[in-house]
Chains A and B, each alone.
Chain A
Amino acid sequence: MTDEPLLRVTALSKYYGSRIGCEDISFDLWPGEVLAVVGESGSGKTTLLNCLATRLLPTSGTASYRMRDNQWRDLYRMSEAERRFLMRTDWGFVHQNPADGLRMTVSAGANVGERLMAIGDRHYGNIRSTAVDWLGRVEIDEERIDDEPRAFSGGMRQRLQIARNLVTGPRLVFMDEPTGGLDVSVQARLLDLLRGLVTDLGLAAIVVTHDLAVARLLSQRMMVMKDGHVVEAGLTDRVLDDPRAPYTQLLVSSILQV
């Protein structure tokens, strides 16, 4: 384990006019650590995620990232070129709706290969064999490599989106409700796959979800958000087994038992 975090977030706030998106968020994320951000719609968790992923500029506060050369960079002071390069090499972003993260009109193989081509891989054979390898790792039959994701089921599309993001070996992946909108059985398979990949690759991840079971299975740490603020944070099983904030207790007690 490294002695330095990967991401440092300090007093991050985002306002939409006078309305609070998220306010005064601070935390460190360490390599290989999965942080779940839970809360209901409108709690600010997606705003936070978008600020961290530099898809949105915060109103105030800083977020620093330790680059592969161990240099610390302020995310909001990087040039757009550097940021976009970071986003397609060392980062991943898994959207809730796979259509937002995939190119629906190009083949599965090209979807996986795009990042490789973007960083200068110019050998078709190598790109294709890497794509085959990744399709296998996300349990998509190699025979589907030339099919467009339009012809894929929701679960397959989501797995393809994950492969597309992980092909460049990112160190940090942002996930926005990665299992939202999927059938329960499909969700379980995806979660299980994600859990395995995160462990095997030592990925750090920030997972936004409203589903506490997702948080329990994927994350070591979690933050509970309400009205733009973090109301409780800590070790995932501590927060879930011994919730302390009133809102967390409400969330935990609202889980349906089967």
Chain B
Amino acid sequence: MSEIATYNFAYLDEQTKRMIRRAILKGIAIPGYQVPFASREMPMPYGWGTGGVQVTAAIIGPDDVLKVIDQGADDTTNAVSIRAFFRKVADVAVTTETAKATIIQTRHRIPEHPLTAGQTLVYQVPIPEPLRFLEPRETETRKMHALEEYGLMHVKLYEDIARHGRIATTYAYPVKVEGRYVMDPSPTPKFDNPKMHMSPALQLFGAGREKRIYAVPPFTRVVSLDFEDHPFEIQTFDQPCALCGAEQVYLDEVILDDKGGHMFVCSDTDHCEKRQACGHRGHLAPAALEPAQ
């Protein structure tokens, strides 16, 4: 490990970690409130999770077990790179198993396996301000949060219904936290919104480019915005996972060939593999994995 001896544990210097921890504590104290912080340059480009990485670096300790997912998968570039980064700069244990992780850094998903007390979920957030697309002025959006003026958020949902006949927002679906702040849950599918509600795990959100940190402490009310006559609904899938046969999970569409062949599989790879290992089978599961008769 001599080549990293010049770096502090978990890459960031202690002063920076302290600053980020203060922002995190403030965020936890005011659930859903966006705390500005002095986001650092990280050895990866913006958009690759620099916010999440800084939050993880500030909270991770030598005994932690880290899991990193990208759209639910442990094995895509973003997840692999960040996992490798922390193994290198913090020398921590890593895992792909949701239940074994103490810190899970995620890009755009919440694992299917229920989180438990003591776990921390760190979200990578591109644009933390849910009001941004309707109100471009930061001074104005901050005032709107301060005064709890959230009518504009419903204007967005109104536009959805007017144009599509239903609330067509499927990801980054705005939520109200503990009856006070409206928050962007990062671009997770709205399928995952109910998992945020009263979760026993601590949820932290880091936006590196936008320099904001916010949090949802354990057992906090998280309610998706809606209309009385157009209530919030999650996506449903009319078929189970093609590999593990799971239902009531979030599925990704995978293109199989250039003739229109496709299948729907679990977006959470760990969940899918666990189920297959337990003998669950979908209709396109590889025959090789067929359990021996």
Number of residues on chain B facing chain A (CB within 8 A): 18
Interface residues of B in 230-283 (CB under 8 A from A): 230
B87 at the interface (CB under 8 A from A): no
Question: What 1/0 mask marks residues of chain B from 185 to 229 whose CB sits below 8 Å from any chain A CB?
Answer: 000000000000000000000000000000000000000001111
List residues of chain A with CB within 8 A of the CB of B158: 109-110, 113, 117, 124, 127-128
Shortest CB–CB separation between residue B179 and chain A, in angstroms? 13
How many pairs of A and B residues are in contact by the CB < 8 Å rule? 56
B134 at the interface (CB under 8 A from A): yes
Shortest CB–CB separation between residue A93 and chain B, in angstroms? 16
B292 at the interface (CB under 8 A from A): no
Q: Is the CB of A114 within 8 A of B152?
A: yes
Q: Is the CB of B163 within 8 A of A146?
A: yes
In the bound complex, what is the Cα–Cα distance between A116 and B58 (angstroms)?
43
Partner of A81, one of B147, B151, B162, B230: B147
B154 at the interface (CB under 8 A from A): yes
Q: Is the CB of A107 within 8 A of B152?
A: no
Number of residues on chain A facing chain B (CB within 8 A): 24
Shortest CB–CB separation between residue A204 and chain B, in angstroms? 24
In the bound complex, what is the Cα–Cα distance between A50 and B62 (angstroms)?
60
List residues of chain A with CB within 8 A of the CB of B151: 114-119
Interface residues of A in 100-115 (CB under 8 A from B): 103, 105-107, 109-110, 113-115
Q: Is the CB of B155 within 8 A of A80?
A: no
List residues of chain A with CB within 8 A of the CB of B285: none
Taking chain A's interface residues, is the majority helix, strand, or loop, or is none over half, making it mixed? helix
List residues of chain A with CB within 8 A of the CB of B147: 80-81, 84
Partner of B149, one of A84, A113, A145: A84
B159 at the interface (CB under 8 A from A): yes
Question: What 1/0 mask marks residues of chain A from 69 to 95 whose CB sits below 8 Å from any chain B CB?
Answer: 000000000001100100000000000
In the bound complex, what is the Cα–Cα distance between A134 and B7 (angstroms)?
64
Q: Is the CB of B154 within 8 A of A117?
A: yes
Q: Give residues in A with beta carbon < 8 Å to B.
A: 80-81, 84, 103, 105-107, 109-110, 113-119, 122-125, 127-128, 145-146
* Top 6 A-B residue pairs of the complex, sorted by shortest distance between their CB atoms: A118-B151, A117-B154, A117-B151, A124-B227, A81-B147, A123-B228
